[in-house]
Amino acid sequence: MESGSDFLDHLFDRRLKGKVDHHLFYSHHAKRSAIMPAENDGTVSVASQLRPTAKADAASVQGYDEDHVSILSARAPLQRARQILDAAR
């Protein structure tokens, strides 16, 4: 996803709050980069992941010391996702 793309520009046109509960998981295992801020997950800045609109609409916000890909298979975020889904039954 490219900064300034039509997709990102319109991603928050329709708000989720009050329609569907969603939880915001973000990763912050920083990698040194000449082009990225110090707080990043190796691909995306933490600031971008924690866009104020996304945070405001989220039922919860949880950060994990993972990188952009490892968060998808790491134990802690998967366990938390399972807890959230189990509680919704």
Domain spans in the chain, listed from the N-terminal domain onward: 6-87
pLDDT at 80 over 70: yes
Contact 46, 55 (CB under 8 A): no
Q: Within its chain, how far is the Cα of 9 from the centroid? A: 17
- Percent of the chain residues topping a pLDDT of 90: 39
Phi then psi dihedrals of residue 52, to 5 deg: -50, -40
DSSP 69: T
pLDDT at 83 over 90: yes
pTM for this predicted structure: 0.81
Three-point CA angle 63, 43, 76, nearest 5°: 30
pLDDT value for 1: 63
Three-point CA angle 15, 21, 64, nearest 5°: 100
Tens digits of residue pLDDT in 13-62 = 887 777 888 999 999 987 777 777 888 888 888 888 888 988 998 999 99
